[in-house]
Structure 1
Amino acid sequence: MDVAQQLEQNGAIKCIDMHTTGESTRIIYSGFPRLTGTLLEQRDQAKSQYDNIRKRLMLEPRGHSDMYGAIIIPETELVHSGEAHIGTLFTHNSGFSTMCGHATIALGRFLVDTHDLTVFPRRNDLKPDLAAREVKVNIHAPCGLVRVTVPTTEDGQKSDPSRPVRFLSTPAYCAATNLQVPIPAEVRWPELGDKASIEVDISYGGAFYALVDIHELGFSTGLRNFNLDSVTFAVKKLKRHLETDPQVRKALQHPEEERLSFLYSVMVVDHEIGFKPDGVSGAETGLCYFAGDQIDRSPTGSCVAARMALAHEKKLRVKGESWAYNSLVSNYFNTGAFTAAIVEEGIPIEGQNSETRYGVVIHVQGSAYYTGALSFVIEKNDLISESGFVLQNCTQ
């Protein structure tokens, strides 16, 4: 038996790596401990009991501070009811998120391509549309049901990477517009100068986003020819401040579930630039800071839903109108933009946690590609990699 086989016998965690416009998705399909309960209960259990494994897979030396992951969850309450084919938990450098568009796009392809029923027990329930050359996959994410359509080869047995994956979001809604958030002197960054407040919007697309125009932050050149380190410094200060602002905290209350009610990200937007694919009415660019100050390489699919909901609220976008959303990476390569359109509106979002909201369902599409297949192990006495680390933290 060679060393690889010996290590595998010690309990390997098996993963497929993919990227969507340069943003990684490490799909954990075997070896993660079995979780129980509803999907949100499984998320709680993963956080409380197995966070060291999340760190091991996301952080150094197996990952890095900007790694992203998706854990396959075969059994959830929506899988049991027949509404979903499979569930997932999304992971990042500091925990577990509630929705992720770029990972959903990658997952869609993987779930069509795998025929291993130990990985995807309901794989045979997928019914390819051979005329349209596509198949629908319903994924239960912590925010709810995400309906994914994956292009396929002619026989319907494999995904077709030459055409984009698309998904229908859970209901997205604008939570607050044009908030004037005071910026105390101790929070301000150099480019802001003496400006006492900035304008911020809060919108939900499966997670909550604070949306702010790059020019509001004092960066006159927008997201073109700008200093990334300077914007990062500003957003780090801003995000921590927004999490304490009373009007922001009020906007973050999701009607249905307290566990969805937190600020996931600050999205810095430049409405004036962006690669524009054929067939869209316009384009813009966003720079997404999420979790523990990760920067999304992709246009951020859940925030695309949030931005469309915000534009709908401001009467800037109508049902059926297509728009392109870019990241720094898609602008650089002139490919990889996400496109989106509103397909349903006026959907009530009700619950005991806050007032009723009215949402929209967004059609989002983009492309994902495979980058590798991996088996990760942990050897006895390996304290350094047992829970992973981030180099910057080693200076403390």
Structure 2
Amino acid sequence: MLPIDRDGRTRKLGLIDMQSGGDVSRIVYSGVDNIPGHSTLEKMRYLQNHGDGLRRLLLSEPYGDPAMSVDLIVPPGDPRAQAGYIIMEAMGYPLYSGSNTICTATAVLQSGLVAMQEGEQNLVLESPAGLAHVTAQNRNGRVESITTQGEPAYVAARDLQVTMPRGDVIPFDVVWSGAFFAMVDASALGFALVADEFPKLASFGDSFIREVRKTFTEQHPQLGDVGPVPFAHFMGPVEQAPAGHYRSRSATYVHPGVICRSPTGTGTSARLALMAADGMLQPGEVLETVSPRNSSFLGTYLGDTTVGDRRAVNSNITGRAWTLSHSHLVVDLDDPLVDISDLEHLLLTEEGDGAR
């Protein structure tokens, strides 16, 4: 039973916690007031500049954990979409995320925010990067898989290198797939990409991304300045399973200090784009990425497109999300551990039916 607010100093948020591939996404579906902006991208930029207190609250102790993600449900600006969602992580505000899209799509269907249909169902969500076209496979009121097509991915830079603080020279490529990823060969660095390596991967990732940010400062050809490089993607060897199906261990570092538990959808898309550019993958073929926790996503190379004047790759990602909890979070504005700057004006005095 929720406590009674006798003096008007508490706020309540409706949450659905999900996980996909081991990464936890906290879906906020109620308790947040209208956010200015016509599109999800404009709403995201408002939060970034004037409402970052919500992200800090939900990803910091005692309310959350930096290894989690938060997805705020908002009304879409595009009439083709059934819902919008703003992604918040330790690194800030990624424009798109595969695992967050899988979790958000599953949550809105299973909770009834969007009416679920038995069997195959098409759903369109509006991310800050644009429309995410989702196909859900539903059975007996549960979403058994999500396939999502998001941002086209393109190779932004090849054959770069940085010198690490101890003098090691690390070669890398940069790929855009909803954010910029610095792509590194895990085997050359001595990583097998298993769970025991999480601390070493995080430590290397932190130093590496700090150096990458000094080297790579390119803007997106359509979105402009999207901030410094937030991700490193560690690539394991590629193995062929059945014909047209490849498998590779992988890990994604999120700055600062987080190694994803899942293979990450955007990391998988980035790897697909790199393999396609190298002629290692043909349209219709599949890459299965396997995380250090042995969870996996399937990425399918759909074909080529362009982003500005760049050759780009369309792909989709398939995975499944699982519900962890339905809850209400109580925010006491007088709690000394609650930083109400950039926060109080976002929270509804009385919980509404949905995030607005």
Please state if 1:176 is matched with 2:134: no
Deviations 1:338-378, CA, capped at 9 Å, x for gaps: 01111131x1222xxxxx11211102101110000121122
Q: Give the match's secondary structure for 2:209.
A: helix
Question: Against the structure 1 CA distance between its residues 113 and 227, is the aligned structure 2 distance closer, same or farther, given a 3 Å change threshold?
Answer: closer
Would the alpha carbon gap of residues 304 and 343 (structure 1) be closer, same or farther in structure 2, given more than 3 Å must change? Answer: same
1:87 shift after superposition:
1.0
What is the SS of the residue equivalent to 2:337? Answer: helix
d(CA) in 1 for partners of 2:193 and 2:265?
19
Counterpart of 1:270, as a letter, is G
Counterpart pick for 2:83 among 82, 86, 96: 86
**2:26 alignment counterpart:** 26
1:228 counterpart = 2:201: no
Aligned equivalent of 1:392: none
Q: In 2, are the aligned partners of 1:73 and 1:89 still within 8 Å (CA)?
A: yes
C-alpha separation between the residues in 1 aligned to 2:94 and 2:336? 27
Identity %: 22
- 8 Å contact from structure 2 (residues 202, 258) kept in 1: no
Partners in 2 of 1:56 and 1:21 — Cα distance? 24
1:14 CA drift (Å): 0.9
- Within a 5 Å distance, the mapping from 1:236-255 to structure 2 comes to 236-245=206-215, 248-250=216-218, 253-255=219-221
Check whether the contact 1:279–1:322 (CA below 8 A) recurs between aligned residues: no
- What residue is the counterpart of 1:11 in the other structure? 11
How many matched pairs?
Answer: 339
Matches within 5 A, 1:333-372: 336-345=295-304, 347-350=305-308, 356-372=309-325
**Are 1:199 and 1:216, in contact at CA under 8 Å, matched by a contact in 2?**
no
**Structure 1: 5+ residue runs without aligned partners?**
189-193, 351-355, 389-396
Q: Does 1:215 align with 2:181?
A: no
Taking structure 1 as the reference length, what is the TM-score of the superposition?
Answer: 0.79
Question: AA paired with 2:154?
Answer: Y
Hey, which of these two has a bigger chunk of strand by percent?
2
How far apart, CA to CA, are the structure 1 residues paired with 2:99 and 2:136? 14
Structure 2 unaligned residues grouped into runs of 5+: 342-356
Aligned residue for 1:36?
36
Indicate how the Cα distance of structure 1 residues 279 and 101 shifts in structure 2: closer, same or farther if over 3 A, else same: farther
Amino acid at match of 2:306: P
Summarize the alignment of residues 1-396 of structure 1 with structure 2, pairs less than 5 Å apart: 4-6=3-5, 10-37=10-37, 38-76=39-77, 78=78, 82-115=79-112, 120=113, 123=114, 128=117, 133-153=119-139, 158-161=141-144, 164-179=145-160, 181-183=161-163, 187-188=165-166, 195=168, 197-217=169-189, 219=190, 222-224=192-194, 227-245=197-215, 248-250=216-218, 253-260=219-226, 262-271=228-237, 281-329=245-293, 331=294, 336-345=295-304, 347-350=305-308, 356-386=309-339
Q: What is the RMSD of the two structures over their aligned residues, measured on CA atoms?
A: 2.5
For 2:251 and 2:318, the matched residues in 1 are separated by 18
Which residue identity lines up with residue 44 of structure 2 in the other structure? R
Deviations 1:190-222 (A, max 9, x none): xxxx54x221011111111001012333x2x53
State the alpha-carbon separation in 2 of the partners of residues 266 and 249 from structure 1: 15
Structure 1 position 20, deviation (Å): 0.5
Q: Displacement, 1:272?
A: 5.5
Closer/same/farther in 2, CA of residues 11 and 227 from structure 1, 3 Å limit: closer
How far off its partner does 1:5 sit? 4.4
Tell me, in whole angstroms, the C-alpha distance in 2 between the residues paired with 1:57 and 1:149.
Answer: 29
Instruction: Choose between structure 1 and 2 for higher RCO, CA contacts under 8 A separated by at least 6 residues.
Output: 2
Q: Would you say the 8 A contact 2:58–2:65 is kept in 1?
A: no
Contact 2:193/2:291 (8 A) holds in 1: no
Taking the aligned partners of 1:43 and 1:14, their CA distance within structure 2 comes to 19
Report the AA paired with residue 177 of structure 1: R
Q: Secondary structure at the match of 2:283?
A: coil
Q: What SS does the corresponding residue of 2:34 show, helix, strand or coil?
A: coil
SS in 1 for 2:230: strand
Give 1:74's aligned amino acid: P
Cα drift, residue 107 of structure 1: 1.2
